[in-house]
Amino acid sequence: MVSSLPDGVEMKVTYYRSGVIIRAIENLSYKLLEESIVVILVIGAFLLHLRSSLVIVLTLPLGILAALLVMKLQGVNANIMSLGGIAIAIGAMVDAAIVMIEAMHRKVEGLKLTPRERRRIVGERSCEVRPALSIRC
């Protein structure tokens, strides 16, 4: 018990949220896996390029890991609101990655490029699609 309470006063937990948070994390993990499979299938079907779909799929767990790391560094707990925000951000991350990969794929398809030329094209294409991605050039 809490020693600062007066004698005869008890503290009882009436609303314990750990079960809800555990289920939310499980749901988020399942949705992440589900979204990854859908992205691989869609990109594979439309671009016929497995490596491009893997780039997109890797952005999902890395983006979520980065968000959770920043939350941890700032001392923010993973509550229902933050997990909901991460779930919504998954869709935005997938959309941005698909737009960028599709723009890149159209430009470099069939070309033999050096790494320097490839980086230049990545920069050009990211500036071209920046309104859709909300980035600065």
Residues 66-106 have pLDDT tens digits of 988 998 999 988 777 887 888 788 778 877 878 888 888 88
| Residues 32, 90 contacting (CB under 8 angstroms) | yes
Please give the model's pTM, rounded to 2 decimal places.
0.60
Asked if 129 contacts 101 with a C-beta cutoff of 8 angstroms, the reply is: no
Q: How confident is the model at residue 2 (pLDDT cuts 50, 70, 90)?
A: low
Identify the pLDDT of residue 137: 67
At 69 the pLDDT is 92
Q: Which domains does the chain have, with CATH numbers?
A: 18-133 (1.20.1640.10)
pLDDT at 116: 92
pLDDT in tens, 22-39: 888 888 788 878 877 887
- Is residue 64 within 8 A of residue 29, CB to CB? The reply is no
> Would you call 59 exposed, middle or buried from its count of C-beta atoms within 10 A (0-12, 13-18, 19+)?
buried
pLDDT band with cut points at 50, 70 and 90 for residue 1: very low
End-to-end Cα distance, the chain: 57
pLDDT in tens, 33-77: 887 788 788 877 877 777 777 877 788 788 888 988 998 999 988
